[in-house]
Chains A and B, each alone.
Chain A
């Protein structure tokens, strides 16, 4: 299961590319993209960006401290 989740960033763009160019109706495509939107929205949300910025600041400062101690 976790292997499938790890592969999602590769699988989803390929699947989306195929569906975008397929003969499915616009309604079906819309339903698929709406589902996909909900699936990936959390990953890209401003709240996630806030967490990442704080984590990266801590990591960069840690590198600075390590360099000072060398």
Chain B
């Protein structure tokens, strides 16, 4: 039979071991929580390609930040940095001439809450340097596309200036413009002189100078030309939904 003193010592040691075990479990639980919250995943529901989602990928081009869409100045080389708060293990871009897929991207980790991919894009061939050649970008995680971006470029064959009212912003554009809004919302483009238009949709006008239209679904191109044969290219992106991403699990 054990002595009472030895028994008390054994009980106290057992209580101490339990406290250590509890502390370890609490630490493990907290670590698990912090790790899962550091890896926000996009919604796992399959993306429906028939649905046109909002282009909202953050892209920094030569130091200028764009959210989802933009018209870039005419240059031979651009430095792109793609950033997303959602995990990314694959990034791809496609233009009229080539597709590049990259899997060596910096995903979300314990040390960075933002997934990044930096690359230099050079317009190498004549195909890319002449005529419209838009750039579309896609970020994916675990095989699911979750963020997109769309860029057009200034073009020497489209030099007609226009004034644009698009999705709460008002700006002047020199020949090429991109306007993204929820489909069905009213946008406008106006010119200093009368123009004729042709495109995926026929924007209504009462004076051939100002065109007020509802953004149709998907990618739509309209070209406006004036008497001097100067033209403006407008791409309207009418999205149906914003891709809902899960912040954490």
Chain A positions within 8 Å of B, measured between CB atoms, are 12-13, 16, 20, 26, 29-30, 32-33, 36-37, 40-41, 44-47, 49-50, 52-54, 56-57, 59-61, 63-64, 67-68
Q: Is the Cβ of A53 less than 8 Å from the Cβ of B132?
A: yes
Q: Is the Cβ of B229 less than 8 Å from the Cβ of A61?
A: yes
Distance from A56 Cβ to chain B, minimum over Cβ atoms (Å): 4
Q: Is the Cβ of A50 less than 8 Å from the Cβ of B48?
A: no
Specify which of B47, B48, B195, B226 lies most central, judged by the most chain A CB atoms within 10 Å of its CB.
B48
Q: Is the Cβ of B218 less than 8 Å from the Cβ of A60?
A: no
Q: Is the Cβ of B199 less than 8 Å from the Cβ of A56?
A: yes
Interface string of B79-108 (1 = CB under 8 A from A): 000000000000000111100000000000
Looking across the interface, which residue of chain B has its beta carbon closest to that of A41? B49
B231 at the interface (CB under 8 A from A): yes
Which residues of chain B are near A13, meaning CB under 8 Å?
A: 50
- Residues in B165-181 with C-beta less than 8 Å from chain A: none
Distance from A7 Cβ to chain B, minimum over Cβ atoms (Å): 14
Q: Is the Cβ of A57 less than 8 Å from the Cβ of B96?
A: no
Chain B positions within 8 Å of A, measured between CB atoms, are 44-51, 94-97, 131-136, 157-158, 195-200, 218-219, 221-227, 229, 231, 233, 235
State which of B47, B96, B224 has its C-beta within 8 Å of the C-beta of A50. Answer: B96
Which residues of chain A are near B200, meaning CB under 8 Å?
A: 52, 56
Q: Is the Cβ of A64 less than 8 Å from the Cβ of B225?
A: yes
Q: Is the Cβ of A67 less than 8 Å from the Cβ of B196?
A: yes
Looking across the interface, which residue of chain A has its beta carbon closest to that of B150? A46
Closest 3 CB pairs of A and B: A59-B198, A63-B196, A37-B49
Beyond the given A26-B46, A53-B233, please list 9 additional residue pairs across the A-B interface where CB-CB is below 8 A: A13-B50, A16-B48, A45-B94, A46-B96, A46-B133, A47-B97, A53-B131, A56-B222, A57-B223
State which of B49, B198, B221, B225 has its C-beta within 8 Å of the C-beta of A36. Answer: B49
CA distance A47 to B158 in the complex (A): 18
CA distance A57 to B233 in the complex (A): 8
Q: Is the Cβ of B50 less than 8 Å from the Cβ of A50?
A: no
State which of A30, A47, A49 has its C-beta within 8 Å of the C-beta of B219. Answer: A49
State which of B134, B136, B198, B229 has its C-beta within 8 Å of the C-beta of A56. Answer: B198
Q: Is the Cβ of A44 less than 8 Å from the Cβ of B96?
A: no
Q: Is the Cβ of A61 less than 8 Å from the Cβ of B50?
A: no
Distance from B180 Cβ to chain A, minimum over Cβ atoms (Å): 15
Which residues of chain B are near A68, meaning CB under 8 Å?
A: 227
